Amino acid sequence: MITHHPKFELIQLFVNGQLPASLSAAIAIHADMCPKCQQQIALLTEQMAEVSFEEDSLQADLEQSLTTDNDSTADYSTDLTDEETLESLSIDDMVDAITMSDELAQTTVAADKTIIYQNENYVLPKTLSSMTLGKKATIGKLSRTRIQLNENEVRTSLLQIAPGGGVPEHTHKGFELTLLLEGSFHDEKGEYVKGDFIMLDSSVQHHPISKDGCLCYTVANDALHFTQGINKLLNPIGGLIY
């Protein structure tokens, strides 16, 4: 049974689309295996939608942003009513342009992507199907493939531990997320199973061992940048724009 779940704050950022792709994918994969988190995400999404599209709260947000935000970012003013904003959008043109094509979006489902490590064939979660995989590297019972997401200091990988293998004792300078895709492992704290979402910060020292082998999806931030702190990393959007 899954006992390790993403924290509420992470789920909230996920729903808002504010996590990097690496962590968003991890939560999506976890939720596919975890009805509890799936339900929480559904409810939060509904709440966020309600809040986003409700007049009053928008108005409140606006007022707040107007009083706190006097600097240049308010260049294009946001204190317009729906009607005024609509005028600036030239609806007719946009609607015409959009509805000109009657084409429906095709929904194709990508074929399952598989990966083989040490004669073990794994089917990867659909969430990862458009991601580019790097080369495989194997050292003893550990195999690793980087997932090329271009997220600077955040590194995402697939990590396979062959039966009886383990990861040498290590601490984390930033954070390290391990999501168990297949199999199980244990460390000093206990046993972890498929679907467990294990988020560790720098205070934790551990030494995972997998008796029967496992495949993990891992996300870690580069030690060089750890001083930026997790919050900034978790909010790359803020880091990017401001």
Which parts of this chain interact with another protein (CB under 8 A)? 15-17, 21, 24-25, 27-29, 31-32, 38-39, 41-43, 45-50, 52-56, 58, 62, 65, 73, 76, 78, 80, 82, 85-86, 89, 91, 94-95, 98-99, 101-105, 107, 109, 126-132, 149-152, 236-237, 240-241
Nearest residue (CB) to another protein, 104 versus 139:
104
For residue 96, what is the enclosing H or E element? Answer: helix 91-100
Query: What are 241's two structure tokens?
Result: 């724009």
Sequence-distant (≥ 6) Cβ neighbours of residue 103 within 8 angstroms: none
Work out how close the CB of 81 gets to another protein at its nearest, in angstroms, rounded to a whole number: 8
Backbone dihedral angles phi then psi of residue 114, each to the nearest 5 degrees? -120, 160
3-state secondary structure of 120: strand
For residue 137, what is the enclosing H or E element? Answer: strand 132-139
Work out how close the CB of 198 gets to another protein at its nearest, in angstroms, rounded to a whole number: 19
Please name the amino acid found at residue 75. Answer: D
CA distance 127 to 109: 11
Work out how close the CB of 100 gets to another protein at its nearest, in angstroms, rounded to a whole number: 10
Nearest residue (CB) to another protein, 21 versus 115:
21
Work out how close the CB of 7 gets to another protein at its nearest, in angstroms, rounded to a whole number: 17
Nearest residue (CB) to another protein, 149 versus 230:
149
Instruction: Using alpha carbons, select from 38, 35, 33 the residue that is nearest to residue 11.
Output: 38
Nearest residue (CB) to another protein, 13 versus 142:
13
Work out how close the CB of 63 gets to another protein at its nearest, in angstroms, rounded to a whole number: 12
CA distance 128 to 216: 13
Please name the amino acid found at residue 122. Answer: Y
Nearest residue (CB) to another protein, 1 versus 98:
98
